Amino acid sequence: MEARKPDKLQIALIDDHKLLRNGLAKLINEFEGFEVSLEAGNGREFIEQLSPTRKPDIVLLDVNMPVMDGYETAKWIQKHLPDTKMLVLTMLEMDYVFIRMLRLGARGYLIKDSHPDQFYDALVQLRDKGYYINADKSAPGANESPQLTDKEIEFLRLTCTEMTYREIAQEMNISSRTADSYRDVLFDKLGVNSRVGLVLYAVKTGIVRT
């Protein structure tokens, strides 16, 4: 008897740019193990198209959309589809955007003009690990379980807010230079290279809960 092929993971694309959305759908449908089962121009369209018997495994979610934007949609998905993993898809390279979306349950982010290999890697990481962290694989702490000090954990928690690094320094009663030092040490220990990477680590490990 021929072995049954594993089901493909169902992907939903929510983006108001139809041309880009269609191009991404075509790309993803070429990836082994994944297929786009739903396309919507905003969160309201997504909810209206949802099948009660076929929930998406992964949602690729834009932030700026009419009618129902990415923040509102993420909040709805977090409440009604807790097993669905969200990946932020945007052109906005702004930390506060990603941090807010991560607090609403997103598991990572991709810039829209990312290389196709990076899209595939992100989907595979979401499937296999539950998160997508675009880490610097060569960093010393990238593949370790680092020991963090109480101050480093406090700093991590504060990076998950919308505070600036200067405001974090004031909150911790330390100098801006010391705050920068905490940041750089954590980059090294955790194998990440951005504030968003720090936030993802904090959420993934339960240091901060969404």
Residue range 82-104: mean pLDDT, rounded = 85
DSSP per residue over 69-135, as a string?
-HHHHHHHHHHH-TTSEEEEEES---HHHHHHHHHTTEEEEEETT--HHHHHHHHHHHHHHS-----
Where does the pLDDT of residue 110 fall: very low under 50, low under 70, confident under 90, or very high at 90 and above? confident
Q: Which residues, in sequence order, are bridge partners of residue 11?
A: 36, 58
190, amino acid identity = L
Cβ atoms of 73 and 100 within 8 Å: the answer is no
Write down the residue that tokens 């495994």 correspond to: 57
Residue 24 to residue 27: CA distance in whole angstroms: 5
Burial class, 121, CB count within 10 angstroms (exposed 0-12 / middle 13-18 / buried 19+): middle
Cβ atoms of 26 and 1 within 8 Å: the answer is no
- pLDDT (tens digit per residue) in 8-59: 899 999 999 999 899 999 999 999 999 999 999 999 999 999 988 889 999 9
pLDDT for the residue numbered 210: 65
Backbone angles phi, psi at 106, to 5 degrees: -65, 150
What percent of the chain has pLDDT above 90?
57
- pLDDT (tens digit per residue) in 170-202: 999 999 999 999 999 999 998 888 888 888 888
pLDDT for the residue numbered 56: 95
What percent of the chain has pLDDT above 70?
90
Please tell me which residue, 144 or 80, carries the higher pLDDT value: 80
Where does the pLDDT of residue 207 fall: very low under 50, low under 70, confident under 90, or very high at 90 and above? confident
Residue 96 to residue 147: CA distance in whole angstroms: 27
Please tell me which residue, 91 or 38, carries the higher pLDDT value: 38
Mean pLDDT in the chain?
87
